[in-house]
Amino acid sequence: KGGAWYLVARAAGQARSYRVSRILELETLEERFAWPEGFDLAAFWHNWSERFEASVYHGEATVRLSPRAMTLLPHFFQPVAARTANESAGPPDEDGWVRTVIPIESIRHAHHELLRLGPEVEVLGPEELRTRMSETAEALGRMYRVRDLRVASNTE
């Protein structure tokens, strides 16, 4: 999953997943196991992934998304977040933008994820996230204005 290896094993009578990089110690046994009858690894993994993804979200952001941003959701966001945003999207305004809700892990994480959408997203709330987005946009604007002034003065 995302470049990380997981082990699916039965413990206490139920299938569980373990991230291989977190296994600190193991012992190899000669015993073999029988694949549980009726166990569908792909279905288990799909359900486990959905539950895991949903469990990491501890808040939500209310945003306006451009039509282009709506097409980028499945490429930039986890499936649970993209699906929630699509399902909660209101009707498009006269410019095609929609108001929707995206589940977020934290303000910091949402800030980084939403910046990838550039001018295709407007954060409406929470206020702390909107402020961070605004501060970042202002800092980028200052940086490029100063750089453009230097470039222009060097070419004269």
- Report in angstroms the alpha-carbon separations of 106 from 35, 44, 132, 143: 39, 27, 12, 27
Res 152: pLDDT: 60
As a whole number, the mean pLDDT across the chain is 90
Q: Tens digits of per-residue pLDDT, 127-156?
A: 999 999 999 999 999 888 866 556 566 665
Res 155: pLDDT: 60
Place 72 in a pLDDT band, splitting at 50, 70 and 90: very high
CA distance 39 to 24: 27
What integer is the mean pLDDT of 26-50? 88
Q: Contact at 8 Å (CB) between 104 and 57?
A: yes
